[in-house]
Amino acid sequence: MKAPLWIVPALIVACTAAAAGGARLFAAPSVTREFAAAAQGTVSRRVVFVVSGVRCVDTAEGAARQFSGVPGVLSFAAYASRGRVEVTYDAASTDVPALIEAIEGPVYDEATQEFRFGVYAVREVDGEKVDQRSR
């Protein structure tokens, strides 16, 4: 039995589409951090940021360091290829504006022992665009 000539290109297109679509469905975080365990009775919430400046594992690690020591932050996950950051936090201890302030704050560069400003900027919060001019 002979297969039609169009079957091979059709299979290549189908496999390529499945691979591209599958990558969107099964993304693994580039960096994850657990900062604190949620205490009993804690009302934990999760917020998703789209952050410019998170482009690779190194910049995602830097973004995770921005939340070190921030009260109420429970966990952090970054998807560097998408610039996406997910933060789980204790709603009684902190709120979204405080988390934005933490990630957009100055970044300490240990190599040069200097602070760098404007490294990270939040572009979206839970799918809503953030107007940079109003802040």
Mind listing the pLDDT tens digit for each residue in 97-106? 999 999 999 9
DSSP string for 14-76:
HHHHHHHHHHHHS---SEEEE--PPPTT--EEEEEEEEET--SHHHHHHHHHHTTT-TTEEEE
Distance CA 49, CA 133 (A): 18
Reported pTM: 0.77
The structural domains of the chain, ordered by start, are: 31-126 (3.30.70.100)
For the stretch 81-116, pLDDT in tens is 999 999 999 999 999 999 999 999 999 988 999 999
CA–CA distance from 78 to each of 10, 95, 114 (Å)? Answer: 35, 19, 25
